Amino acid sequence: MNGIPNSPQPLWRDTTIDSFPQLDRDMETDVTVIGSGITGITTAYFLVKKGFKVVLLEAGKVINGTTGYTTAKLSAQHGLIYDHLIRTFGKETAKKYYLANQEGLHYIDDIRTDLKIDCDFSYQPSIVYSAAPSGNRKIEKEAEAYKDLGIDGGLADNSVLPFPIQSAVKMNQQAQFHPLKYLKSLLIYLKQKDTHIFENTRAVDIKKGTLPEVKTRKGHSVLSDHVVIASHFPFKDLNGMYFARLHVERSYTIAVKTNGPPPKGMYLSTEEPKKSLRHALGSNGEELLLIGGEGHTSGQSENTYNHYEKLKEFAEKNFSVKDIPYRWSSQDISTLDRIPYIGPITRNNPNIYVATGFAKWGMSNGTVAGKVISDLITGNGSPYEKLFSPSRFNASQDVKNFTKENMDVAKELFKGKLHRKETDMENLQPNEGGIVNYRGKKLGAYKASNGGVSLVDTTCTHMGCDLQWNTAECSWDCPCHGSRFTPSGEVIEGPATKPLKNYHN
């Protein structure tokens, strides 16, 4: 790509993280945590501090899911959400949501202070701006909501952004940090406390019961009093209908070296496609401007490179760009009513917990999730149990969004392979994927840089939707619930747990 790294270069992953072994035996413990992003690691941290024995299972490498690919804003300002929350749920719920996320931010500050973690943490104002007059009313209403809820902030009068804006609402004393430096230290803490951490250990099933049993792909099991599914999209549904209640979006980030310092503060536009800005330090201590956005439903973009190009255009139009050394993308999951699902997976399974649907705000919400779930497990109770309960139901919001989401999935299922554009295998360029006709079958083909071709059945192993080739990340992505697979069919992220059917050329 012109001026953008050809392959994904995530900024945070420059940090070296310890490796962990694969689970090679059956085990028993107090709590099994599945997933090693900020939610899983924070849950384990709080539990271990209370004296619980924890086994942490990771399907791939630790901190290599969404947490490794975030913009790492640590904020209770989740776009324009408070006016929506007051109108939908009332003031009390809106205030609780704010307080929960403020606590999430402060837990991170407390933990990094306690463990003396140098993770580039700094307090910053968080600002949502509108670049068009049509956004002014929404901004004003959000500022009114801040006043009603006693949120520290309000309308922002001046802007340091180098382009004109119409209006903005600011939340004071929010923060940003380096997520991998922070979580790396938590993993070291867990290791020192003899926590068992396993990589390359994919959980594929949970047998429910008084002592739920987690089964791994290699055939081992972990028996425990409690299980926490912190694997982003829950791979096990247990009749919770999560597949019908979650929406998955892919968005993109570039890190830009600018001539002159990037603007201080954290920014988000109201207009679509959204633009997110913050500054950060690169691995050599150089100042960078992170520009994120260009979100779309996962697996539903014909050419994902275009989204990086659009971010680059935005950067060049508004900043003096010297270089773009990093680029990455990630998936975010939203719930029907914009509040995460944190708590028992269903009412009938009180010892199996889930934490998902943080939208783009996984740093604060993921930390809150770790605290809420560990409080429920240790029997302390949580003031946020009801707010985040996955079993809640909000008739007006849920029915509307449930219908829209499932119509979209039904459309993708129906479309199947019927309308797929085919290409000739010989025409595939190195590092390119596409649908080919191979001995009368429509298959997904990928040509590696050495000329070798991988052939897979592009039927998603979760619920059968047809996968879309992701040009920028070289993966097969599902348009229904966001499962992703490598060119040779291995699962990158779920809810799918089984690889694609592989064909030998």
- Give the interface with ligand FES as residue ranges (CB under 6 A): 460, 462-465, 478, 480-483, 495-496
Phi and psi angles of residue 419, each rounded to the nearest 5 degrees, phi first: -105, 20
Residue 151 C-beta: closest distance to ligand FES, Å: 37
In degrees, rounded to 5, the angle at the alpha carbon of residue 328 between the alpha carbons of residues 326 and 331 is 160
Residue whose C-alpha is closest to residue 470's, from 485, 459, 457:
485
How far is it, in rounded angstroms, from Cα 124 to Cα 72? 12
Q: Are strands 275-281 and 341-344 parallel, antiparallel or unpaired?
A: unpaired
Residue 155 C-beta: closest distance to ligand FES, Å: 42
Residue 478 C-beta: closest distance to ligand FES, Å: 3
The b/e string for 74-87 (b: 16+ C-beta within 10 A; e otherwise) is bbbbbbbbbbbbbe
Residue 455 C-beta: closest distance to ligand FES, Å: 19
Residue 481 C-beta: closest distance to ligand FES, Å: 3
Q: Which amino acid type is present at position 166?
A: Q
Phi and psi angles of residue 33, each rounded to the nearest 5 degrees, phi first: -110, 125
Give 202 or 462: the residue with its C-beta nearer to ligand FES. Answer: 462
Instruction: Give kind and range of the element (H or E) at residue 147.
Output: helix 136-149
Residues shown for the chain: 505
Give 10 or 479: the residue with its C-beta nearer to ligand FES. Answer: 479
Q: Which spans in 20-73 are helix H?
A: 38-49
3-state secondary structure of 181: helix
Give 209 or 464: the residue with its C-beta nearer to ligand FES. Answer: 464
First to last CA, the chain: 29
Residue 405 C-beta: closest distance to ligand FES, Å: 12
The first and second tokens of residue 219, run together, are 């055939």
Instruction: Give kind and range of the element (H or E) at residue 94.
Output: helix 91-114
Give 70 or 497: the residue with its C-beta nearer to ligand FES. Answer: 497
Q: Which amino acid type is present at position 463?
A: M
Residue 163 C-beta: closest distance to ligand FES, Å: 38
Give 168 or 238: the residue with its C-beta nearer to ligand FES. Answer: 238
Give 263 or 299: the residue with its C-beta nearer to ligand FES. Answer: 299
Give 89 or 242: the residue with its C-beta nearer to ligand FES. Answer: 242
Residue whose C-alpha is closest to residue 78's, from 404, 281, 337, 298:
337
Instruction: Give kind and range of the element (H or E) at residue 74.
Output: strand 73-74
Give 275 or 462: the residue with its C-beta nearer to ligand FES. Answer: 462
Residue 456 C-beta: closest distance to ligand FES, Å: 14
Give 195 or 331: the residue with its C-beta nearer to ligand FES. Answer: 331
Determine if the peptide bond prior to 390 is cis (ω within 30°).
no
Q: Which amino acid type is present at position 373?
A: I
Residue 345 C-beta: closest distance to ligand FES, Å: 17
Q: Which amino acid type is present at position 413?
A: L
Q: What is the strand order of the sheet 441-447 is part of?
A: 432-438, 441-447, 453-456, 502-503
Give 248 or 324: the residue with its C-beta nearer to ligand FES. Answer: 248
Residue 466 C-beta: closest distance to ligand FES, Å: 9
